[in-house]
A and B are shown apart, each in its own frame.
Chain A
Amino acid sequence: GAVVSQHPSWVICKSGTSVKIECRSLDFQATTMFWYRQFPKQSLMLMATSNEGSKATYEQGVEKDKFLINHASLTLSTLTVTSAHPEDSSFYICSARDLAVAKNIQYFGAGTRLSVL
Protein backbone atom coordinates (compact mmCIF):
# COMPACT_ATOMS: atom_id res chain seq x y z
CA GLY A 1 0.00 0.00 0.00
CA ALA A 2 0.78 3.72 0.17
CA VAL A 3 1.92 4.09 -3.42
CA VAL A 4 2.54 7.51 -4.92
CA SER A 5 2.83 7.73 -8.68
CA GLN A 6 4.60 10.64 -10.34
CA HIS A 7 4.52 11.37 -14.05
CA PRO A 8 6.49 11.94 -16.16
CA SER A 9 9.71 10.50 -14.78
CA TRP A 10 11.83 12.55 -17.17
CA VAL A 11 11.03 15.53 -19.33
CA ILE A 12 13.13 17.67 -21.63
CA CYS A 13 11.73 20.97 -22.79
CA LYS A 14 12.77 24.14 -24.55
CA SER A 15 13.36 27.34 -22.66
CA GLY A 16 10.17 29.37 -22.36
CA THR A 17 7.76 26.46 -22.44
CA SER A 18 5.66 25.15 -19.54
CA VAL A 19 5.82 21.68 -18.07
CA LYS A 20 3.20 19.90 -15.96
CA ILE A 21 4.09 17.19 -13.47
CA GLU A 22 1.43 14.95 -11.96
CA CYS A 23 1.43 13.34 -8.52
CA ARG A 24 -1.15 10.69 -7.70
CA SER A 25 -1.82 8.70 -4.58
CA LEU A 26 -2.89 5.33 -5.97
CA ASP A 27 -4.29 3.47 -3.00
CA PHE A 28 -5.08 6.13 -0.44
CA GLN A 29 -6.57 9.58 -0.16
CA ALA A 30 -4.34 12.55 0.49
CA THR A 31 -5.68 15.91 1.57
CA THR A 32 -2.11 17.18 1.66
CA MET A 33 0.67 16.70 -0.83
CA PHE A 34 4.10 18.25 -0.79
CA TRP A 35 6.40 19.31 -3.63
CA TYR A 36 10.16 19.20 -3.23
CA ARG A 37 13.11 20.15 -5.36
CA GLN A 38 16.43 18.36 -5.20
CA PHE A 39 19.69 19.37 -6.83
CA PRO A 40 22.39 16.77 -7.50
CA LYS A 41 23.95 15.39 -4.32
CA GLN A 42 21.86 17.70 -2.18
CA SER A 43 18.97 17.30 0.20
CA LEU A 44 15.28 17.77 -0.50
CA MET A 45 14.02 21.31 -0.26
CA LEU A 46 10.33 21.85 0.31
CA MET A 47 8.80 24.12 -2.31
CA ALA A 48 5.15 24.11 -1.34
CA THR A 49 2.39 22.33 0.50
CA SER A 50 -0.59 21.42 -1.64
CA ASN A 51 -3.97 21.20 0.05
CA GLU A 52 -6.98 19.67 -1.64
CA GLY A 53 -9.55 22.30 -2.54
CA SER A 54 -7.52 25.29 -1.44
CA LYS A 55 -4.52 27.35 -2.46
CA ALA A 56 -1.07 25.94 -1.99
CA THR A 57 1.26 27.28 0.66
CA TYR A 58 4.65 28.22 -0.76
CA GLU A 59 7.93 28.27 1.11
CA GLN A 60 9.86 31.48 1.34
CA GLY A 61 11.70 32.27 -1.85
CA VAL A 62 9.56 30.05 -4.09
CA GLU A 63 7.73 31.99 -6.81
CA LYS A 64 4.09 30.96 -6.79
CA ASP A 65 3.52 32.35 -10.29
CA LYS A 66 6.44 30.31 -11.55
CA PHE A 67 5.47 27.05 -9.91
CA LEU A 68 1.71 26.63 -10.19
CA ILE A 69 0.18 23.98 -7.98
CA ASN A 70 -3.29 22.52 -8.31
CA HIS A 71 -4.74 19.92 -5.94
CA ALA A 72 -8.17 19.31 -7.42
CA SER A 73 -8.93 15.94 -5.87
CA LEU A 74 -7.91 13.76 -2.94
CA THR A 75 -5.64 11.72 -5.18
CA LEU A 76 -4.09 14.21 -7.59
CA SER A 77 -1.85 17.23 -7.34
CA THR A 78 -0.08 18.89 -10.26
CA LEU A 79 2.94 21.16 -10.44
CA THR A 80 3.33 23.33 -13.52
CA VAL A 81 6.67 24.97 -14.15
CA THR A 82 5.77 28.00 -16.24
CA SER A 83 8.12 29.60 -18.75
CA ALA A 84 10.85 27.19 -17.80
CA HIS A 85 14.49 28.25 -18.01
CA PRO A 86 17.71 26.25 -17.69
CA GLU A 87 18.03 27.19 -14.02
CA ASP A 88 14.75 25.36 -13.38
CA SER A 89 16.40 22.10 -14.38
CA SER A 90 16.26 19.87 -11.34
CA PHE A 91 14.74 16.75 -9.80
CA TYR A 92 11.19 17.44 -8.59
CA ILE A 93 9.64 15.05 -6.10
CA CYS A 94 6.16 14.94 -4.62
CA SER A 95 4.94 13.27 -1.48
CA ALA A 96 1.51 12.57 -0.08
CA ARG A 97 0.19 12.17 3.41
CA ASP A 98 -2.33 9.41 4.02
CA LEU A 99 -5.52 10.88 5.39
CA ALA A 100 -6.51 7.65 7.10
CA VAL A 101 -3.38 6.99 9.15
CA ALA A 102 -0.93 8.86 11.34
CA LYS A 103 -0.75 12.46 10.32
CA ASN A 104 2.95 12.87 9.74
CA ILE A 105 3.89 9.99 7.43
CA GLN A 106 4.76 11.10 3.91
CA TYR A 107 5.08 8.71 1.00
CA PHE A 108 7.16 9.86 -1.93
CA GLY A 109 6.85 9.55 -5.66
CA ALA A 110 9.74 8.42 -7.83
CA GLY A 111 10.54 11.97 -8.92
CA THR A 112 10.62 13.86 -12.20
CA ARG A 113 13.86 14.93 -13.78
CA LEU A 114 13.36 18.19 -15.65
CA SER A 115 15.94 19.33 -18.19
CA VAL A 116 15.37 22.73 -19.77
CA LEU A 117 17.40 23.41 -22.91
Chain B
Amino acid sequence: GENVEQHPSTLSVQEGDSAVIKCTYSDSASNYFPWYKQELGKGPQLIIDIRSNVGEKKDQRIAVTLNKTAKHFSLHITETQPEDSAVYFCAASEAAGGNKLTFGTGTQLKVEL
Protein backbone atom coordinates (compact mmCIF):
# COMPACT_ATOMS: atom_id res chain seq x y z
CA GLY B 1 0.00 0.00 0.00
CA GLU B 2 0.85 3.66 -0.11
CA ASN B 3 3.26 5.17 2.40
CA VAL B 4 3.57 8.93 2.86
CA GLU B 5 6.43 10.52 4.77
CA GLN B 6 6.31 14.14 5.87
CA HIS B 7 9.01 16.52 7.10
CA PRO B 8 9.61 18.40 9.27
CA SER B 9 7.44 17.36 12.18
CA THR B 10 7.66 20.85 13.67
CA LEU B 11 8.44 24.15 12.00
CA SER B 12 8.80 27.53 13.60
CA VAL B 13 9.05 30.68 11.48
CA GLN B 14 8.88 34.39 12.03
CA GLU B 15 5.82 36.23 10.82
CA GLY B 16 6.31 37.24 7.20
CA ASP B 17 8.77 34.48 6.44
CA SER B 18 8.06 31.53 4.16
CA ALA B 19 7.39 27.98 5.30
CA VAL B 20 8.01 24.82 3.32
CA ILE B 21 6.74 21.35 4.17
CA LYS B 22 7.81 18.32 2.18
CA CYS B 23 6.24 14.92 1.57
CA THR B 24 7.29 11.81 -0.28
CA TYR B 25 5.08 8.97 -1.40
CA SER B 26 5.83 5.41 -2.40
CA ASP B 27 3.10 4.36 -4.84
CA SER B 28 3.70 5.62 -8.37
CA ALA B 29 0.00 5.03 -9.10
CA SER B 30 -1.02 7.84 -6.73
CA ASN B 31 -2.47 10.70 -8.71
CA TYR B 32 -4.03 13.14 -6.26
CA PHE B 33 -2.23 15.03 -3.50
CA PRO B 34 -4.20 17.26 -1.12
CA TRP B 35 -2.95 19.34 1.77
CA TYR B 36 -5.03 19.82 4.88
CA LYS B 37 -4.79 22.30 7.74
CA GLN B 38 -6.00 21.15 11.13
CA GLU B 39 -6.50 23.48 14.05
CA LEU B 40 -6.63 22.15 17.58
CA GLY B 41 -9.80 20.18 18.26
CA LYS B 42 -11.13 20.60 14.74
CA GLY B 43 -11.38 18.52 11.60
CA PRO B 44 -8.92 18.92 8.72
CA GLN B 45 -9.62 21.66 6.22
CA LEU B 46 -8.58 21.27 2.59
CA ILE B 47 -6.32 24.18 1.67
CA ILE B 48 -4.93 23.16 -1.69
CA ASP B 49 -4.56 20.07 -3.84
CA ILE B 50 -2.74 18.99 -6.96
CA ARG B 51 -3.21 16.23 -9.48
CA SER B 52 -0.50 14.23 -11.14
CA ASN B 53 -0.88 15.93 -14.51
CA VAL B 54 0.15 19.29 -13.01
CA GLY B 55 3.54 20.29 -11.67
CA GLU B 56 2.59 23.35 -9.67
CA LYS B 57 -0.50 25.07 -8.34
CA LYS B 58 -0.86 28.35 -6.52
CA ASP B 59 -3.63 29.98 -4.52
CA GLN B 60 -2.71 33.37 -3.09
CA ARG B 61 -0.04 32.75 -0.41
CA ILE B 62 -0.15 28.98 -0.76
CA ALA B 63 1.48 26.88 -3.46
CA VAL B 64 2.08 23.19 -4.00
CA THR B 65 4.68 21.60 -6.25
CA LEU B 66 4.79 18.01 -7.44
CA ASN B 67 7.72 16.02 -8.78
CA LYS B 68 6.31 12.74 -10.08
CA THR B 69 9.68 11.33 -11.02
CA ALA B 70 11.04 11.77 -7.53
CA LYS B 71 7.65 11.06 -5.94
CA HIS B 72 7.63 14.08 -3.72
CA PHE B 73 5.46 17.14 -3.30
CA SER B 74 5.78 20.25 -1.20
CA LEU B 75 3.63 22.93 0.37
CA HIS B 76 4.88 26.51 0.28
CA ILE B 77 3.34 29.24 2.41
CA THR B 78 4.62 32.76 1.82
CA GLU B 79 4.22 35.83 4.02
CA THR B 80 3.21 33.69 6.96
CA GLN B 81 0.78 35.06 9.52
CA PRO B 82 0.00 33.96 13.09
CA GLU B 83 -3.29 32.47 11.91
CA ASP B 84 -1.31 30.07 9.73
CA SER B 85 -0.21 28.31 12.92
CA ALA B 86 -1.74 24.82 12.85
CA VAL B 87 -0.92 21.23 11.97
CA TYR B 88 -0.58 20.57 8.26
CA PHE B 89 -1.08 17.13 6.73
CA CYS B 90 -0.21 16.00 3.25
CA ALA B 91 -1.96 13.02 1.70
CA ALA B 92 -1.87 10.85 -1.39
CA SER B 93 -4.64 9.04 -3.17
CA GLU B 94 -5.05 6.83 -6.19
CA ALA B 95 -8.20 5.77 -7.95
CA ALA B 96 -7.41 2.07 -7.98
CA GLY B 97 -7.29 2.11 -4.20
CA GLY B 98 -10.85 3.35 -3.94
CA ASN B 99 -9.63 6.92 -3.71
CA LYS B 100 -8.59 6.37 -0.14
CA LEU B 101 -6.29 9.00 1.32
CA THR B 102 -3.05 8.03 2.98
CA PHE B 103 -1.91 10.81 5.28
CA GLY B 104 1.52 11.98 6.24
CA THR B 105 2.46 12.29 9.89
CA GLY B 106 1.76 16.01 10.09
CA THR B 107 3.78 19.19 10.59
CA GLN B 108 3.14 21.52 13.50
CA LEU B 109 3.70 25.02 12.10
CA LYS B 110 4.16 27.87 14.52
CA VAL B 111 4.33 31.41 13.23
CA GLU B 112 5.91 33.69 15.79
CA LEU B 113 5.39 37.41 16.04
Contact = CB atoms under 8 A, between A and B. Distances in A.
Are A and B part of the same complex? Answer: yes
A111 B44 CA distance: 9
Which 10 A-B residue pairs are closest in the complex by CB-CB distance? A104-B32, A108-B43, A110-B43, A111-B43, A43-B103, A108-B44, A44-B103, A104-B93, A104-B99, A43-B105
Contacts, number: 54
Interface centre among A42, A93, A105 (most CB of B within 10 A): A105
Q: What is the interface of chain A mostly: helix, strand, loop, or mixed?
A: strand
Contact of B43 (A32, A46, A49, A93): A93
Given A103-B95, A108-B45, A113-B41, A46 B36 contact: no
Interface centre among A46, A105, A106, A111 (most CB of B within 10 A): A106
Interface string A77-116: 0000000000000000101010000011111111101000
Interface of A: 4, 6, 32, 34, 41-44, 46, 49, 57, 93, 95, 97, 103-111, 113
A52 to B, nearest CB: 14
